[in-house]
Amino acid sequence: MVVISRDAIFLEKQFIQEGGIGRQIVLDEESSMPQTNQAPISMDTNKLVETPIHVKNVTEPRRSGRVTRNPARYLNLHENVQELFIHGDNDHGDDPFTYEETISDIDSFKLLEAMKSEIDSMNESQVWDLVDPPEGIIPIRNKWVFKRKIGADGKVETYKARLVAKGNRQRQEVNYKETFSPVAMLKSIRIMLAITAHYDYEVWQMDVKTAFLNGHTEEDIFMDQPRGFESNDKSKVCKLKRSIYGLKQASRSWNRRFDEVVKSFGFIKNEDEPCLVF
């Protein structure tokens, strides 16, 4: 049975002081309502009616009626910048998606030059060897990725072509194992910048072109010959010696090679000597 009361006094302190664990405490009801001899009201959940609560004198927060306007020097700047960096130079259209689209593109000559530059860098780094396909081996595929880089004036500044392996065809424990590679934490970069600002140092940024090509592969990975640069014997496949972009273990191979080279320069922590920060 549930007893409903408008005002009640809870004798919590008295209950604790008297140590009345398990005793029944009778609550004194104090109400300004006239007392009646009616029996206690039982709670019937099927007949409950929600009583709306009316809140009086509720005022909305005051809103400023001031109309904001951009300065005259910023008029149409947002639209122009967005149009510039999203759409770029409309005379050149979108970047080609396939090799066939590149051949028929308006900038096909410059894109083919970018492709040749990419292949030359791979040949210089000895990324692969042409071998006969082993029996039972299905080589992974590759594709060309093209990008027109727009300058500040809205014109095409450079043409990029990247040969990317389709790593989704790789199988774990067959042509790749570990894929984890550590990355820099944001707070580490902030600490470095804070130290630089405190001591008035200079920060130099270095970009490594075709960085992943410096990493060595430990697994036997076979890939199709790149489109447009096939050898006379098209039955041969490329056995990768370097980790090109798109491989699942590419970033790990690059980080492992970078770690080895940096340690060979003396950037290593010794217990008896202070740690050098690179």
pLDDT of residue 68: 77
Locate 81 and state its tokens: 């910048």
Domain residue ranges of the chain, discontinuous segments joined by +: 88-264
Q: How confident is the model at residue 275 (pLDDT cuts 50, 70, 90)?
A: very low
Above 50 in pLDDT, residue 167?
A: yes
For residue range 233-254, list pLDDT tens digits in order: 888 999 999 988 899 998 889 8
- pLDDT for 274 equals 43
Residue 216 per-residue DSSP state: B
| pLDDT tens digit sequence for 196-224 | 999 999 988 887 777 888 888 888 899 99
The model's pTM is 0.56
Residue spans of beta strands (DSSP E) within the chain:
128-131, 142-150, 156-165, 222-223, 237-240
More confident residue, 125 or 4: 125
Q: Could you give the dihedral angle defined by the CA atoms of residues 142, 143, 149 and 155, in that order, rounded to the nearest 10 degrees?
A: 160
Question: Long-range contacts: 84-88, Cβ < 8 Å, 24+?
Answer: 84/150, 84/154, 85/150, 88/148, 88/150, 88/154, 88/156
Q: For residues 92 and 274, give the distance between their C-alpha atoms in angstroms, rounded to a whole number.
A: 55
What is the arithmetic mean of pLDDT over 24-53? Answer: 52
Distance CA 163, CA 275 (A): 39
132-137: average pLDDT: 88
pLDDT computed for residue 89 by the predictor: 47
More confident residue, 202 or 12: 202
- Three-state SS string across 88-113, please? CCCCCCCCCCCHHHHHCCCCHHHHHH
Q: Over range 254-277, report the average pLDDT.
A: 71
What the block records as the tokens of 52 is: 């709306």
**Strand boundaries in 166-243, DSSP class E:** 222-223, 237-240
- pLDDT computed for residue 16 by the predictor: 62
In the predicted model, is pLDDT for residue 137 greater than 90?
no
